[in-house]
Amino acid sequence: MEKSIARLKDISRELQLLTHSIALLGWDQETYMPPAAAEERADQLSLLEGMLHEKATNPEIGELLAHAGADGENPGGNTSLPEEDGGLVRAMFRDFGRRIKLTKDLVMRMAKQTSIGQQIWAEARKRNEFSLFAPELEKILSLTLEKAECLGYSEHVYDALLDEYEPWMKTSAAEAVFSSLKPRLVKILDKIRGARQVDDSFLLKNYPREKQEAFGRAVISDLGWDVKRGRLDQSTHPFTTTLGKDDVRLTTRYNENFFKTGIFGIIHECGHGLYELGFSDSIKGTALADGTSLGIHESQSRMWENVIGRSMAFWEHYFPVLASCFPENLSGVTPERFYRAVNKVEPSFIRVEADEVTYSLHIILRFTLETRMVTGKIPVRDLPEAWNSLFQELLGIRPSSDFDGVLQDVHWSMGGIGYFPTYSLGNLYGAQFYRALKKTLPDAEKLIAGGDFKPLLSWLRENIHRHGRIYTADELCRKVTGESLNPDYFISYLEDKFSKVYEF
């Protein structure tokens, strides 16, 4: 048993090294790679993904897992295993079980097509031409459906795709969450529409990128970001990727005429990065050193970005610093007025810039389109019109361009169909976790207002980050909060916050 576990750990570390090497090529592709290198980069990624698949489906892994007692009824192996070893066995049993259902050829074709697709998506977005990207998306969708059939599903083809990002969640469960959220969000939005509106005009002035970046770097340093273990760069679409146990890369984008884009993108990605850097030393470099689900991962980014980063306490501390950076734009603006401005609720086109109330409506739109797309109810060529019509129905406004509509997200180009629901789940988990945090740190707002984030990060590291994939999302949620995911906490958080911002 001990020899089997030791060998599994060695194999897991080798797989992680190869995964991080692939991630390095992907990060470079989205940040510094010259455009002419796209074709060979696709071949490089395809080759390495094929090598990873071959190594990750070695029959030896199945034999070692069997020796450890893992099977369909007991994926964590022998019950005598220490908790961490049992977690590793369960994670590797799940990964191995999914990978052996896929062929090396399919994995390589998907890697190559998504690498090409991401480059063409970026160009199509720049040129505001969905027709340029549509043929590539059709190929990606075809490969995605081929993958879903290989993985198998019991209820809905989308189950196989959602499961990749939110393990063990079914499409029906996601639909139930969204069906519950939608009317409650609309109710809050209706109250806000009837209240005195917030003036955020001073956020639409010119904020030079260099100053935004300097301010953002200072903020995340205070939050606990370690520049010796990570970087911050620019990309077409913000993302975080891990290239090693001490090498996590953040990216963001800036809009010089809309201040919120840069700073909240930086804080959001920092939340992801802090999670990745917070795994315990004993699991670093293994299959356990990853978010247990993307919903949990998003809970960290959304909590730092919104619950903390858009709080009054946060801007009591940072507004004087920001005002000194941009005195022309913020002269006469008070911290309270600034707080209200960064929390302005207004239907808008870009998901990553959406307020907390309307954000999940953006996700419901994408979830609806994806489930229809994978069942053939919406052909790829009809996506722009379907997007615009559903946007009008959900948010009351209609995109006038592909740039603001169907081309705004990178996820489909990278083969991430099934990813979007995790963003809303992250909002729910984040609110529930923060409520638990405040039971231990009842003076959390005072700490934030004083610029002391160490106790908050320490709590997150101890209760969430260090565990990685040892627990499932539900197990972790119950361990931290005493109950399974409960959307009521998020709705209560929104009602309490925005009734004060909008005085209703």
Residues that are catalytic: 269
Q: Are 262 and 275 in contact (CB under 8 A)?
A: no
Give the C-alpha separation, 419 to 332, whole Å.
Answer: 42
Say how many C-beta atoms besides its own lie within 10 A of residue 40's C-beta.
10
Give the C-alpha separation, 464 to 477, whole Å.
Answer: 9
**In sequence order, what are the beta bridge partners of 244?**
247
**How far from 262 is each of 61, 201, 256, 423, CA to CA, in Å?**
44, 17, 9, 19
DSSP string, 167-236: TT--HHHHHHHHHHHHHHHHHHHHHHHTSPPPP-GGGGS---HHHHHHHHHHHHHHHT--TTSEEEEE-S
How many residues are listed for the chain in this entry? 504
For 229-339, strand residue ranges (E) read: 230-234, 240-244, 247-252
**How far from 71 is each of 53, 67, 75, 97, 438, CA to CA, in Å?**
21, 10, 5, 10, 39
Please tell me whether residue 152 adopts helix, strand or coil conformation: coil
Q: Which amino acid is at 441?
A: L
Give the C-alpha separation, 213 to 224, whole Å.
Answer: 17
User: With 0-12 CB in 10 A as exposed, 13-18 as middle and 19+ as buried, what is 265?
Assistant: buried
Give the C-alpha separation, 65 to 81, whole Å.
Answer: 12
User: With 0-12 CB in 10 A as exposed, 13-18 as middle and 19+ as buried, what is 55?
Assistant: middle
Q: Which tokens belong to 204?
A: 């639409």
Give the C-alpha separation, 61 to 308, whole Å.
Answer: 43
